[in-house]
Amino acid sequence: MKGNEAIAEAAIIAGCRHYFGYPITPQTEIAAYMAKRMPKIGGCFLQAESEIAAINMVYGVAATGKRVMTSSSSPGISLKGEGISYLAGADLPSLIVNVQRGGPGLGGIQPSQSDYFQATKGTAHGDFHMLVLAPASVQEMADLTVKGFELADKYRMTAMVLADGTMGQMMEPVSLDYEVKNTVEKPWATTGTNMEREHNIVNSLFLSPEKLEEENFKRYDRYKLIEENETMYEEYMMEDAEICVSAFGIASRVAKNAINEAREMGIKVGLIRPITLWPFPKAPFKKAGEKVKSIISVELSMGQMIEDIRLASECKVPVTLCNRAGGMIPTPEQVLEAIINANNGGAK
């Protein structure tokens, strides 16, 4: 199954019956899949007039308490920024998929990870976060989609599956056997009062600064719980590692190949792969900062996650960048060279 299709089918299994989107490469298979499947299962696929309309349709369905999603690629996510901020301000759950391509501007259509900052920090205006889930296999594309819906409901926030063009197009076998949790009560939903309760208001406007501050503090209390309970990462050969490589998504697969080769050469190197980019897995990097010689961040960008690695490892060891950008992917040889360099004690 293709990565993009795995996401779409997993969303349906997770109980999502409403999808809104606007065509953009390289994620169009998600929309195409939904267009075929939704009418057959009583769901709704609607091609919106713009990314902005699509995210606001998501906002409308989310306000009724139903599971809903949209997907896009980098430039489209920029357009959705406004709506994502309103979703955050109104504490509405939703799932957004970003199959990243190179930027800035119209950029290109080849894979990229240059929306890391956008996803984890600068999505749009105001104090808020999205849950950001970074799959590294087609199986994880599906798994994290299901997980994303569950966490979004649990914490009343947007979850983003942050993939890239390679992950979207890649084909791998997938198991879609889930016990989906869809039991979160949503007493806040606007479903009509039925003349049985006070009216519900879904809203992000708070003109009183005291009230708005209170809303923000409440939201960040929830974020703290997420950081404590939902942070996910994978460690690979880190037990005795002297060099730490860090990468997420497709970059982590390249990095693993290079690590295997380096291990054969006798270099003690391991991998930390963040699965949640927000919340960022700070603990393993703090630990690494205390025992490894240096950390290499492998990214399909000009170096974005590297800033979080430096913070999490408290700058105790050098953190270097091994990257390609603009739609290019680092080769295992390039990563291996960086590992050898680091092992020889030199930042390149």
Partner 1 sequence: MVVFDKPHALTDVSMHYCPGCTHGIIHRLVAEVIDELGIEGKTIGIAPVGCSVMAYDYFNCDMIEAAHGRAPAVATGVKRALPENVVFTYQGDGDLASIGMAETVHSAARNENITIIFVNNAIYGMTGGQMAPTTLPEQVTQTSPYGRDVNHCGFPIKVCEMLATLDGPEYLERVAVNNVKNVKAAKKAIKKAFQNQVEGKGFSLIEVVSSCPTNWGMTPKKALEWVEEKMIPYYPLGVYKDRSAKEEN
Tell whether omega for the bond before 318 is within 30 degrees of 0, i.e. cis.
no
One of 26, 76, 83, 165 touching partner 1 (CB under 8 A):
83
One of 78, 204, 216, 231 touching partner 1 (CB under 8 A):
204
Task: Give min distance, CB of 178 to partner 1, in A.
Answer: 23
CB 164 within 8 A of CB 113: yes
Q: Does 309 engage in binding with partner 1 (CB under 8 A)?
A: no
CB 271 within 8 A of CB 309: no
One of 1, 68, 97, 119 touching partner 1 (CB under 8 A):
68
CB 166 within 8 A of CB 138: no
One of 46, 237, 325, 328 touching partner 1 (CB under 8 A):
46
Which region among 164-172, 191-199, 240-248, 256-264 touches partner 1 (by CB under 8 A)?
A: 191-199
Length of the chain: 348
| Residue 186, amino acid | K
CB 247 within 8 A of CB 298: yes
One of 42, 179, 185, 205 touching partner 1 (CB under 8 A):
205
Which residue lies nearer to partner 1 by CB, 44 or 232? 44
Which residue lies nearer to partner 1 by CB, 14 or 292? 14
One of 32, 52, 212, 237 touching partner 1 (CB under 8 A):
52
Q: Does 41 engage in binding with partner 1 (CB under 8 A)?
A: no
Q: Does 194 engage in binding with partner 1 (CB under 8 A)?
A: yes
Which residue lies nearer to partner 1 by CB, 117 or 206? 206
User: Residue with structure tokens 């942070």?
Assistant: 231
Which region among 145-153, 164-172, 184-192, 243-251 touches partner 1 (by CB under 8 A)?
A: 184-192
Task: Give min distance, CB of 312 to partner 1, in A.
Answer: 34
CB 246 within 8 A of CB 305: yes
Query: 215: which 2 tokens?
Result: 């809303």
One of 58, 300, 319, 338 touching partner 1 (CB under 8 A):
58
Rounded Cα gap, residues 102 and 113, in angstroms: 8
Q: What is the DSSP letter of 171?
A: B
Sites for partner 1 among residues 3-32 (CB under 8 A): 18, 20
Query: 115: which 2 tokens?
Result: 């929306």
Per-residue CA distances from 166 to 3, 169, 296, 328 (Å): 9, 5, 22, 11
Q: How big is the CA angle at 268 (ends 267 and 273), to the nearest 5 degrees?
A: 120
Which region among 95-103, 163-171, 188-196, 331-339 touches partner 1 (by CB under 8 A)?
A: 188-196
Which residue lies nearer to partner 1 by CB, 57 or 136? 57
Q: Residue 244 phi/psi, 5° resolution?
A: -115, 125
Which residue lies nearer to partner 1 by CB, 200 or 231? 200
Which residue lies nearer to partner 1 by CB, 57 or 340? 57
Return the biggest CA–CA distance within the chain.
73
Which residue lies nearer to partner 1 by CB, 20 or 155? 20
Q: How big is the CA angle at 101 (ends 96 and 119), to the nearest 5 degrees?
A: 40
| Residue 178, amino acid | Y
Which residue lies nearer to partner 1 by CB, 200 or 334? 200
Q: What is the bridge-based pairing of β-strands 44-47 and 18-21?
A: parallel
Number of residues that bind partner 1 (CB under 8 A): 39
User: By rule CB under 8 A, what string of x and - marks binding of each residue 85-124 to partner 1?
Assistant: -x---x----------------------------------
Q: What is the bridge-based pairing of β-strands 44-47 and 94-100?
A: unpaired
Q: Does 82 engage in binding with partner 1 (CB under 8 A)?
A: yes
Q: Residue 301 phi/psi, 5° resolution?
A: -160, 180
- Provide the binding-site residues for partner 1, judged by CB under 8 A: 18, 20, 44, 46, 48-50, 52-54, 56-64, 66, 68, 82-83, 86, 90, 190-196, 199-205
